[in-house]
């Protein structure tokens, strides 16, 4: 074995081996979503999760207000609020998918690293 291989093998711990065993089983979509709530970004993920529900509630409320409005000016205003809130929900969902993709990529890199050691 080369010096690089020796250093790489020494740097791995039992935690890395357990992580590799977890990777072998695969992870469901809900498991991937749940894994976004762990680690250093846990607070931001929770904040974004709550914010997405808040924006959805605002969108529903603005939708009802739009239909209740009698003046065209108010209808356009509530339509703007509705569209803004729905776009915000969509962008937060895109952020979640990007976060899940980032974590999946990190898992794949870790899998490759651990396979190299073997």
Reading the chain (118 residues) residue by residue, the pLDDT tens digits are: 567 666 666 666 666 666 666 666 666 666 777 777 777 888 888 899 999 999 999 999 999 999 999 999 999 999 999 999 999 999 999 998 888 888 888 888 887 877 777 6
Q: What's the pLDDT at 84?
A: 97
Q: What's the pLDDT at 38?
A: 75
Q: What's the pLDDT at 58?
A: 97
Q: What's the pLDDT at 20?
A: 64
What span, in angstroms and rounded, lies between the C-alpha atoms of 37 and 99?
10
The residues, ordered by sequence, that sit 6+ positions from 116 with a Cβ below 8 Å of its Cβ are 8
Q: What's the pLDDT at 56?
A: 97
Q: What's the pLDDT at 19?
A: 65
The residues, ordered by sequence, that sit 6+ positions from 37 with a Cβ below 8 Å of its Cβ are 45, 46, 49
End-to-end CA distance of the chain: 11
Q: What's the pLDDT at 110?
A: 81
């Amino acid at each position: 074995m080369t010096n690089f291989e020796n250093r790489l093998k020494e740097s791995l711990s039992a935690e890395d081996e357990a992580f590799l065993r977890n990777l072998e089983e695969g992870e469901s979509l809900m498991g991937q979503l749940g894994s976004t709530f762990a680690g250093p970004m846990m607070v931001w993920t929770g904040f974004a999760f709550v914010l997405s529900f808040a924006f959805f509630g605002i969108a529903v409320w603005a939708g009802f207000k739009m239909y209740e409005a009698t003046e065209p000016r108010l209808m356009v205003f509530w339509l703007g609020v509705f569209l803004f809130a729905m776009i915000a929900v969509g962008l937060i969902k895109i952020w979640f998918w990007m976060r899940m993709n980032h974590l999946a990529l990190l898992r794949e890199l870790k899998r490759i690293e651990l396979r190299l050691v073997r």
